[in-house]
Amino acid sequence: MGRPAKMWRLTSEANRLFPDGYADLTLSLIDSMKEAFGEEGLEKMLEIRNRQQIKEYQSKVSRSLPLEGKLKAFAVTRTAEGYMAEIIDNEDGTYYFIEKHCPICEAARACSSLCRNEADLFQQVLGDDLVIERSEHILEGDNRCVFVITPNNTTT
| Residue 141 covered by a domain | yes
| Residue 33 covered by a domain | yes
| Residue 5 covered by a domain | no
| Residue 133 covered by a domain | yes
pLDDT, block means (10 residues), the chain with 156 residues: 73 73 88 94 94 97 96 97 96 97 90 90 95 96 96 65
87 strand-pairing partners: 97
| Residue 16 covered by a domain | no
Report the predicted TM-score, pTM, of the whole model to 2 decimal places. 0.82
Domain count, the chain: 1
- Owning domain of residue 56: 21-151
| Residue 48 covered by a domain | yes
Inter-axis angle of helices 118-126 and 22-60, nearest 10: 20
What b/e readout covers 53-65, taking b as 16+ CB neighbours within 10 angstroms? bbeebeeebeeee
